[in-house]
A and B are shown apart, each in its own frame.
Chain A
């Protein structure tokens, strides 16, 4: 298979809920793209339904949610629920933003593959995605 035919890792970066702070989401999206992944950025104000639909439509390997508003638990619960309903349990879910350490345990129990708190570097994020997702075939 030639270089151009190898399937790149496909990632949906999403801003769920009402928060408009997209500085981090855009930096991560760009860094993942520069690292050779196919990145789809959903833009702002996405419902969990819209995000999961985008992941299905884009045949995504992973979803990265950017949440700074404190709404991470209800949103992640709903996204995980919807992924299950649509048979997309294989899609890895990552979350970045403002997440109290006391909530990390519940997110991990939901099956979130990686949680990035303030201070995480793009290197950390790239490495986590590379390790969790299948290599380009």
Chain B
């Protein structure tokens, strides 16, 4: 019998259960108009780009004056392999480096630790000591290239390594430009790559901010992150609220430690997700700037306009990309990148099409970089700043999401602040609920994911980057050789000094620098701190 062709007719075309909400569940009206923005006062609520409250952007000229930094997150295997990928990206138009570390590095474990089994070099580059860091940046001039490092619990150690590599190259710490993520609160909330309990972790961060304020004026001391909060399943409003409230917490702790807010606030930076709902994301970025500007000026009394300006990096939403029909991900990433640009980001990473399968191949990361270049050079969106400013829809969404974030601030303030809220499990539970609700919406087809719950098809697997287990063996041997050849006495002294400093109140950066010079491994330095601070694990609730 001849197979009858199935045609999607008009009635069947609208997926009946699909909800007219954003991916966060926010209901959207069919139409917005002047009535939606009657309360908006241009001077008070918007301002021109470069004018308080910075809703429209932090620089007067925005991208005409300075293009966003095309900064692709990269790292896998050994330091030597990642060094090659760094050089590839820089040669193909990447403006700056962004380092992805493997899980042992992120968790302060040496490659031969039992929990490192199977993990070495898989999610990022394996860095066990200064020795590996030197290889990672071989041939890359740190006085010319800025670097962002995605590292949190052992951030102080990686910062020390970076400073020492610069020193060996003849570049002083004061000339180094870059960012260290160093945002432990979002670890407790979302990414869960914590080591020590919340309060000692905050102490380490305050020490680092103080050190950088004194010695590294071109360095962003922290990248207060919403990306991971969003990837863990939060709504856009939760991402905005928890990120900025984390920021408030860091500022408060530094102020409580006696620092003048204008001395460090200009070097705080932020990191947001750019997710699938185009207009909700743009509104979120605009609301972020407005909230932060007002918070810094009015809540903290900051006087320097640079303290008021929210500078941020954006990454397109990894969690939205599919293993099914991976070439569709190029389209998703392009739309999300465009939202980031229309939202006024200072820096951007675009995910590769194979994001849901593995770390990116060279081909995949090239398309991701080209996506940014096409937007920058061909789309024309860079010619006018905040091009969606004044849109009834976008201004209304900006106001809505701001109000939701401020509501969360009130609740968290009432709990005694973000550290208290984290200890009570509040943001963690909010995120888990949102994640579960989203999964239900997908399974009920209220949210369509093309290729996954609609338009599914048979397909062949695409080539992916595969990290050999040989990398682990190589790293274990390398660290063993390092341990044999370094000055054991100097190391023992340095680790002892580190423990002493941790027990007291001295800044931890100098002893970490000394231990790093002595080629202490990350595992050894973190173990010294584990002895003093203890380890944290969250209650196993689901």
Residues of A within 8 A of B (CB): 13, 17-23, 25-27, 29-30, 33, 39, 41-45, 47-48, 69-75, 78, 98, 100-102, 117-119, 121-123
B117 within 8 A of A: yes
Q: B541 to chain A: closest CB distance in Å?
A: 8
Q: B358 at the A/B interface (Cβ < 8 Å)?
A: yes
| Contact across chains for A30 and B436 when beta carbons are under 8 A apart | yes
Q: Which of B117, B191, B356 contacts A21 (CB 8 A)?
A: B191
State the CA gap A25–B538 with chains docked (Å).
Answer: 15
B119 near A43 (CB under 8 angstroms)? Answer: no
Beta-carbon contact of B466 and A100 below 8 Å: yes
* Chain B residues with CB below 8 A from A119, complex form: 322-324, 449, 452
Q: Is the CB of A18 within 8 A of B103?
A: yes
The answer for the CA separation of A42 and B436 in the assembled complex, in Å, is 19
Q: Is B94 an interface residue (CB 8 A)?
A: no
Report the minimal beta-carbon distance from B62 to chain A, rounded to whole angstroms: 35
Set of chain B residues within 8 Å of A123, measured between Cβ atoms: 443
B358 and A100 contact, CB distance less than 8 A = yes
Within 8 Å of chain A (Cβ to Cβ): is B34? no
Binary flags per residue of B114-143, CB closer than 8 Å to A gives 1, else 0 = 111111001100000000000000000000
Given A100-B358, A119-B324, A78:B466 Cβ within 8 A = no
Say yes or no: A17-B117 contact (C-beta < 8 A), given A23-B232, A29-B542, A117-B323. yes
Contact residues of B between 485 and 542, Cβ < 8 Å to A: 537-542
Binds A, one of B23-31, B35-43, B83-91, B104-112: B104-112
Residue of B nearest to A119 (CB): B452
Bitwise, B456-485 to A at CB < 8 A (1) or not (0) is 000001001011010000000000000000
Seed contacts A45-B537, A48-B117, A102-B466; 17 additional CB < 8 Å A-B pairs = A17-B115, A18-B104, A20-B194, A23-B432, A26-B436, A26-B542, A41-B542, A44-B537, A70-B467, A71-B119, A73-B118, A73-B469, A98-B357, A101-B461, A118-B323, A118-B324, A122-B439
The docked-state distance in angstroms from the alpha carbon of A14 to that of B187 is 19
Tally chain B residues at the interface, Cβ within 8 Å.
Answer: 47
A71 to chain B, nearest CB (A): 3
Q: How far is the CB of A38 from chain B (nearest CB, A)?
A: 13
Which of these, B117, B322, B442, B443, contacts A71 with CB under 8 Å? B117
Contact B469 A27 (CB under 8 A): no
Assembly CA distance A43 to B540 (angstroms): 5
CB–CB B103/A69 < 8 A: yes
The 4 A-B residue pairs with the shortest CB-CB distance in the complex, in nearest-first order: A20-B192, A71-B118, A43-B540, A74-B118
Q: Which residues of B contact A13 (CB under 8 A)?
A: 542
**Residue B427 is within 8 A (CB to CB) of chain A in the complex:** no
- B193 in the interface (beta carbon within 8 A): yes
- The residue that B191 contacts in the complex, of A20, A29, A33, A98, with Cβ under 8 A, is A20
Task: Tell me the bound Cα distance from A102 to B107 in angstroms.
Answer: 28
Interface contact A17-B357, CB-CB below 8 Å: no
Q: How far is the CA of A59 from the CA of B138 in the complex (A)?
A: 53
Chain A residues lying within 8 Å of B436, measured Cβ to Cβ, are 26-27, 30
Most buried by A among B104, B119, B194, B453: B119
Please measure, in the bound complex, the distance between the C-alpha atom of A26 and the C-alpha atom of B425, giving whole angstroms. Answer: 15
Please state if B322 and A118 are interface contacts (CB–CB under 8 Å).
yes
Contact A18 to B106, CB < 8 A, known contacts A73-B118, A74-B469: yes
Rounded to whole angstroms, the CA-CA distance of A6 and B277 in the bound complex is 46
Contact assessment for A44 and B192 in the assembled complex, using a CB-CB cutoff below 8 Å: yes
Chain A residue at smallest Cβ distance from B465: A100
Central interface residue in A26, A47, A74, by most chain B CB within 10 Å:
A26
List of B residues within 8 angstroms of A75 by Cβ: 117-118
Name the residue on B nearest A33 (C-beta): B542
Complex alpha-carbon distance, A78 and B469, angstroms: 15
B198 at the interface (CB under 8 A from A): no
CB distance from A29 to the nearest CB of B (A): 4
Q: Is there an interface contact between B537 and A43, defined as CB atoms closer than 8 Å?
A: yes
Q: Cβ of B464 and Cβ of A69 under 8 Å apart?
A: no
Type the 1/0 row for B176-213, where 1 means its CB is closer than 8 Å to any CB of A. 00000000000100011110000000000000000000
**Cα separation A48 to B106 with both chains bound (whole Å):** 20
Closest CB in chain A relative to B434 CB, distance in Å: 10
Interface: B233 (CB within 8 A): yes
User: Given that A18-B103, A30-B436, A100-B464 are known contacts, is A43 also in contact with B118, CB under 8 Å in the complex?
Assistant: no
